[in-house]
Amino acid sequence: MIPENKWTRITTAESVPLREGRAVRLGGVEIAIFNLGDRVLAIENRCPHQGGPLCDGIVSGTTVVCPLHGWRFDLESGAAVRSSLPACVTVFPARVEDGIISVNIAGGSRIEMEDAA
Amino acid sequence: MQRLVVVGNGMAGMACVEQILKHAPKFEITIFGNETHTNYNRILLSAVLAGEKSLDDVTLHPIDWYREKGIALRLGVGIVDVDACAKTVTGDDGSVTGFDKLLLATGSSPVIPQIAGVNNDGVFTFRNMEDARALLERSRPGIKAVVIGGGLLGLEAARGLQVQGCDVTVVHLMDTLMERQLDTAGGTYLIRKMERLGMRVLLHRRTRTILGEGRVEGVEFDDGDRIPADLVVIAAGIRPNAELGRRAGLTVNRGIVVNDYMETSHPDVFAVGECVEHRHVCYGLVAPLFEQGKVLAATITGNRGPVYEGTVEAAKLKIMGVDVFSAGDFREASPDDGIEAEAVRYEDSALEIYKKVVLAGGKLRGVILVGDTSDSHRYMDWLRNGVDVTRKRRRLLFPEPVEDAGFDVAQMSDSETICGCLGVSKGDIIQAIHTRGVNTMAQLKESTRASTGCGSCTNLCEQLLRAVAPEFQEETKTTLCACFPFSYEQLREILLSQKLKSVQEVLNVYGNRKGCEVCKPALSYMLDMVWCGEHEEDRSARFINDRVHANIQRDGTFSVVPRIRGGVTSPDELRRIADVAEKYSVRMVKITGSQRIDLLGVKKSDLPKIWADLGMPSGQAYTKGVRMVKTCVGTEFCRFGVQDSVGAGIELERRLENLYTPHKVKMGAVGCPRNCAEATVKDIGLVGQEGSWQVVVGGAAGKNVRKADLLITVETTEAAIEAAELFFQYYRENANYLERTYDFVERMGIEKVRKETVYATQPERLKLLDRLQRSKALAKDAWLERETPVHPTQFIQIEPMENVFA
């Protein structure tokens, strides 16, 4: 379990429309928060390819497609999907409680690159 | 010549008559039908209600056919009595007709439960063309419809009513929908699909009363619960119409009893179809009719020999996007016959696919397919022919790996039925290919009617054509992406006929529910186009450019291009643009190739403010839509100009701006053939010449360079603009998403484009223009969303409620 004090309250759940993402800057990191209807997921808002804003991508199931060149990332693991090169973004624990979206910025994790391919 | 009287002008009677006509000796045939329509395809009535076919489409035998065959047809006459000794039938018009042979093909009637209120106005059955017509008349948006009966017909009726706009509830007596065809698991998947289509399903409910004094107001259940209803459809099963058999003194149980030669207990009276009982079974589906008809035709013409040994019952739900197939006996262990059956299952809850086959003694006994019915013919073959599947045990639920594309059809015998709806066998199709020069699916449908029923045999027909037809032509079918199995054309048809208005709805019912970056924007476009702007806009399905109405750049900033119609601006506009560029520290101000000004490097959050400060409409430079009309100076200043290209260009841009298209549309208008604004390499170009305009389309000067084709030459500017509008709307409606006009024109051929736009009949042209006007009436400058954003955070970066490092 993540200690309570590690969660940062971000915004109301309504601020992120269904199947869209929104960016928020937390400390030195920009995070993209996605609303998948039954839950919210948060990833680093920067495509490892050329820095595209992933929050602006089209959501397809539990993946998001970068608006610049179409790289696709799994929102749960952060791994690039169907990419020719192994790549990933950091994922952050996110939750909705009492209508407020919180993110655990310290709990960010990246998968091992071997798995990403 | 012997006299044959046929009672019943439905599918069974007529299928049999068709067979009889193939035999000698000939009869003098009289057919009585109590409906007023010639023989039609009853199983397509669901498709009529669901808007997929019109009432005219379902006719099987037009009146001329009867005439050609020398058949006396008596429509609207019901037969009320049969005297088997005197060999006469009596009509409800008092007529008495003598016969040598009598064929009863009286079909079946809906079972009406004995409950109060069934005679109320607004209570219908769904059995014949009159019912379909009445339901079409009564159903409309806002009407609350209750369908009593969750079997095949009830569900199809429910979907039809829903497509007509009704708010639909299905009430079913049992715990499982289609319980005669599905087990509990299959039924659960089916409910999910029905609910996702937007219908309510109530199981285990017995209707006690239909409420209302004279007119339906609702239904009440056994437990006292009530639900309101303006319309009630009873689909609680059917009962054989065996009364005439009884009157004729034949042996009758539930239906008129026939033996394997299709003989009744009287040597000169025969019966076929849903009114008969064969080996204790009364059939309610279409396939047995054809098999029975063939045998009966042999018997009645004195060629007694072929026998009918019963039909493996198979049912397919005909609701677009809800694939359900069931055949045989799917019970896993049946104590009745002591056979221990084994079930093999496959289930994918995410894709909502459920398959189950039941085996007994190494043979297939029954099958249920939900969500993927593509293999149904294979199982039917195993069932019909009692194939030993022991050696196939490991791949029962998946097609055998076939490298040979013609293998499937090569495995079938000539007599095997390919189209169960219309009773067309493999041999029939091969014969049509050889004797009637059939090479395409369209010709095959025309020639044999195969696959024109439920359409589930389309794949097989195609395979057969590919294997047999000497000049087989593949019908071009481009699917959008892996999320849908449909072509663009099919999707457009589905959106229209199924009245789908939102992307997610389409994905949920016809796709994989997820969608992707390819199909979501495409569907968004199609819905907007098909409904002329009256769709449900879903911004999550749009590319970022269409969420914020600006073009995303490589660093995540955006570019802003205001509309400057015809490339004509003013000092005041230029001043405002300059002010905006300074105020927001725009990194680059660029004159574009489209005679416009691009402000580059703008932050998303500044977009609404910039638009407000500019006070100019969106130039749609970020979207698949109307870009600009580039113009030359024209007559006002140019020494050589012969047409007012500036005026025409600005007017054309005004008429089409704010509309969306399959791909970007760039236009040009030039005042003389010197073509200074390069109109001949634009999607649509107006080229002025002395006394007239040439309207050209399909030009390109991008990745491809292509000189535009001449669409038409007209004398007035208004006529030129109208020709451009016709082409514009035609392109909107018929191009695939992301297909530029230059590819579109080449694919269609300019002759066809002309024929269907500028050379189309006046009503057709007016229809195109009307749809364009309807779209235009709802089209708005997207930049007005600066004042009324579709979502409060449409343009902003979210500020966290608490600082992480505080």
Q: Whats the size of chain A, residue-wise?
A: 117
CB contacts of A4 in chain B (<8 Å) are none
Average model confidence (pLDDT) across chain A = 89
Whole-number Å distance between alpha carbons of B433 and B426: 11
Q: Of B163, B170, B146, B148, nearest to B228 (Cα)?
A: B146
Going by DSSP bridges, is the β-strand pair A100-104/A7-12 parallel, antiparallel, or unpaired? Answer: antiparallel
Q: Please judge whether B797 and A25 are an interchain contact, meaning their C-beta atoms are less than 8 angstroms apart.
A: yes
Q: Looking up tokens 């994989």, which residue turns up?
A: B512
| Domain-located, residue A2 | no
Q: Do A23 and B515 touch (CB under 8 A)?
A: no
Angstrom distance (rounded) from CA B128 to CA B109: 10
Q: Taking CA B87 as the corner, what is the angle to CA B83 and CA B93, rounded to the nearest 5 degrees?
A: 65
* Residue range A1-31, pLDDT digits in tens: 556 668 999 999 999 999 999 999 988 889 9
- Nearest residue to B41 (alpha-carbon basis) of B574, B451, B492, B596: B451
Name every chain B residue with its beta carbon within 8 A of the beta carbon of A33: 798
pLDDT at B175: 94
* Residues ≥6 apart with Cβ < 8 Å to B395: none
The yes-or-no verdict on residue B475 having pLDDT over 80 is no
One-letter amino acid at B420 equals G
Residue B201 has pLDDT above 50, yes or no: yes
List Cβ neighbours of B529 (8 Å cut-off, separation of 6 or more): B660, B732, B733, B775
Closest-CA distance, A104 to chain B, in angstroms, reads 9
What does the pLDDT read at residue B261?
A: 95
pLDDT in tens, B335-358: 666 667 889 999 998 888 999 999
State the pLDDT at residue A83: 62
Sequential DSSP letters for B544-560 = HHHHHTSEE-TTS-EEE
Nearest to B517 among A33, A50, A70 (CB): A70
Contact A60 B520 (CB under 8 A): yes
CB contact burial B440-456 (16+ within 10 A = b; e otherwise): bbebbbebbbbbbbbbb
- Does the residue A103 lie in any domain? yes
The beta strand positions in B513-654, using DSSP E, are 551-552, 558-560, 588-591, 597-602, 626-631
Determine the Cα–Cα distance for residues B158 and B162; give it in Å rounded to an integer.
Answer: 6
Q: Is pLDDT larger for residue B3 or for residue B288?
A: B3
Query: Could you report the per-residue pLDDT of B754-768, keeping only the tens digit for each?
Result: 999 999 999 999 999
Using one digit for the tens of pLDDT, what is the confidence trace for B210-265?
999 999 999 999 999 999 999 999 999 999 999 999 999 999 999 999 999 999 99
Residue B403 has what pLDDT? 59
Q: Is the pLDDT of residue B595 over 70?
A: yes
State whether B804 and A26 contact (CB < 8 Å): yes
- CATH label of the domain that carries residue A21: 2.102.10.10
Q: Say which residue, B299 or B484, is predicted with more confidence.
A: B299
**Residue B514 distance to chain A (closest CA, Å):** 5
Write out pLDDT tens, residues B549-575: 999 999 999 999 999 999 999 999 999
Measured between beta carbons, the chain A residues lying within 8 angstroms of B513 are 61
- A51 contacts on B by Cβ (under 8 Å): 555-556
Burial B50-66 (b: 16+ CB within 10 A, else e): bebbeeeebbbbeeebb
Spatial distance between the Cα atoms of B70 and B64, rounded to a whole number of angstroms: 10
Grouping H, G, I as helix, E, B as strand and the rest as coil, residue B53 is coil
For residues B585-610, one letter each, b for 16 or more C-beta atoms within 10 angstroms of the residue's C-beta and e for the rest, the string is ebeeeeebebbbbbbbbbebebbbbb
Give the HSE-up count for residue B561: Cα atoms under 13 Å, Cβ half-sphere.
24
Please determine, for residue B402, whether its predicted confidence score (pLDDT) is greater than 60: no
User: Which residue of chain A has the CA closest to B554?
Assistant: A68
Tell me: the pLDDT tens digits for B16-67? Answer: 999 899 887 689 999 999 988 889 988 889 889 988 888 888 888 888 899 9
**Chain-centre distance of CA B391, in angstroms?**
39
pLDDT of residue A117: 40
Chain A partners within 8 Å of B791 (Cβ): 17, 20
Q: CA-to-CA distance for B577 and B562, rounded, in angstroms?
A: 9
Inter-chain contact A58–B543, Cβ cutoff 8 Å? yes
In a domain, A114, yes or no: no
Domain annotation covers residue A117: no
Confidence of residue B477 (pLDDT cuts 50, 70, 90): low
pLDDT (0 to 100) of residue B335: 60
Taking 90 as the threshold, does the pLDDT of residue B327 lie above it?
yes
Looking at the structure of chain A, the number of domains it has is: 1
Q: Is the pLDDT of residue B805 over 60?
A: no
User: Taking CB atoms and an 8 Å limit, are B798 and A50 in contact across chains?
Assistant: no
Please tell me which residue, B399 or B495, carries the higher pLDDT value: B495
Give B-chain residues touching A18 at CB under 8 angstroms.
Answer: 540
* Interchain pair B797, A22: CB under 8 A: yes
Q: Which domain holds residue A43?
A: 8-109
- Examine the pLDDT at B637 and tell me if it is beyond 70: yes
For residue A1, is it within any domain? no
pLDDT above 80 for B152: yes
Residue B284 phi/psi, 5° resolution?
-125, 15
SS3 content of chain A, % helix, strand, coil (to 5): 15, 40, 45
Do the chains contact at B802 and A8, CB–CB below 8 Å?
Answer: yes
Mean per-residue pLDDT over chain B, rounded: 91
Q: Are B580 and B586 in contact (CB under 8 A)?
A: yes
| Residue from B47, B67, B66, B65 nearest B56 by CA | B47
CB B708 within 8 A of CB B460: no
pTM listed for this prediction: 0.70
Say how many Å lie between the first and final Cα of chain A, rounded.
29
Assess if residue A116 is contained within a domain: no
Query: Contact, B140 vs B134, CB < 8 A?
Result: no
Residue A23 resides in a domain:
yes
Distance from CA of B348 to the nearest CA of A (A): 16
Could you read off the pLDDT of B715-757 as tens digits, one per residue? 999 999 999 999 999 999 999 999 999 999 999 999 999 999 9
75-104 in A: which are within 8 Å (CB) of B? Answer: 100
Helix axes B519-530, B503-510, angle to 10 degrees: 110
Residue B676 confidence (pLDDT) above 90: yes
**Which chain A residue has the Cα nearest residue B547?**
A56
Inform me whether the pLDDT recorded for B806 exceeds 50. no
Point out the residue among A50, A56, A60 whose CB comes nearest to the CB of B544.
A56
Instruction: Report the residue of A4, A58, A62 to disrupt the B interface, i.e. the one with the largest count of B CBs within 10 Å.
Output: A58
In this structure, of B180-194, B447-461, B496-510, the range with the lowest mean pLDDT score is B447-461
- The C-alpha angle with vertex B244 and arms to B274 and B41, in degrees rounded to 5, equals 35
What gap in Å lies between CA B443 and CA B753, rounded to an integer? 23
Q: How confident is the model at residue B594 (pLDDT cuts 50, 70, 90)?
A: very high
- pLDDT-derived band of residue A116, with 50, 70 and 90 as boundaries? very low
Q: ipTM of this model?
A: 0.93
Separation in Å, CA B683 to CA A109, B352, B663, B724: 49, 44, 10, 10
Token pair belonging to B141: 């948006």
Indicate the pLDDT class of residue B459, thresholds 50, 70 and 90: confident
pLDDT tens digits, one per residue of B21-31: 988 768 999 99
Using a CB-CB cut-off of 8 Å, the residues of chain B touching A47 are: none
Residue B359 pLDDT exceeds 60: yes
**Is residue A13 one of the residues assigned to a domain?**
yes
> pLDDT digit string (tens) for A46-59?
999 899 999 999 99
Quote the Cα angle for B438-B441-B446, to 5°: 70
Residues B4-13: pLDDT tens digits? 999 999 999 9
**Pairing outcome for strands B238-240 and B108-110:** antiparallel
* Residue B628 reports pLDDT greater than 80: yes
